[in-house]
Amino acid sequence: MMTHLTQFNSLAKPLFEERKAAHEICRLFNKSPSKGNLKRIKELFAQSGEGVIIEAGFHCDYGSQVQIGDRTFININCTVLDAPIVEGVITIGSDCLIGPNVQLLAVSHAVEPKQRLQKENFAAPITIGNNVWIGAGVIVLAGITIGDNAVVGAGSVVTKNIAENTVVAGNPAAKIRDI
């Protein structure tokens, strides 16, 4: 699943400060989801296309490597665990629908106990194609690609790549049918 992992220490002072600043922007937006606060969220991103809508409850760790295409809708309480050291760590295409309570988790930790004690994180990109519908409560793990026009059923945990024009659901998400 997670290939091309990049290791980093999120507790290093510069990364900690960057994350703290992004969290404050998210906090202000969630407290008052005004156009001005939404603009500040979008300014965190490497790219935010035309007509992107983000509902309140949005959280990201850094935002600096997040790319969102045109006309994408992100519903309430979306969590994006991104990393500033992986280019394009979270890429969301155009015309996507991201349901409420979705988690895009490009960051993870070591499985081995001794490695975890080193407090290092690992990151791998998440790529979401165009016209993808991700249902409520879906969790997408690091290193995953979801192809164009795919549908991910509510409550699914995506642990493997999803082909374009496919409906998947479950934990772990499995193919239900082609579109």
Spatial neighbors of 54 by CB under 8 A, at least 6 apart, are 29, 38, 41, 42, 74, 78
**Secondary structure (DSSP) of 123-155:** E--EEE-TT-EE-TT-EEETT-EE-TT-EE-TT
Query: CA-based angle 13:16:21, to the nearest 5?
Result: 125
Q: Which two structure tokens, joined as six digits, stand for 117?
A: 């004690």
Query: What is the CA 100 to chain-centroid distance, rounded?
Result: 13
Establish how many alpha carbons lie within 13 A of residue 5's alpha carbon, considering only the half-sphere containing its beta carbon.
14
User: Which among 4, 23, 59, 109 is annotated as catalytic?
Assistant: 109
**Is 109 annotated as catalytic?**
yes
Active-site annotation, residues:
109
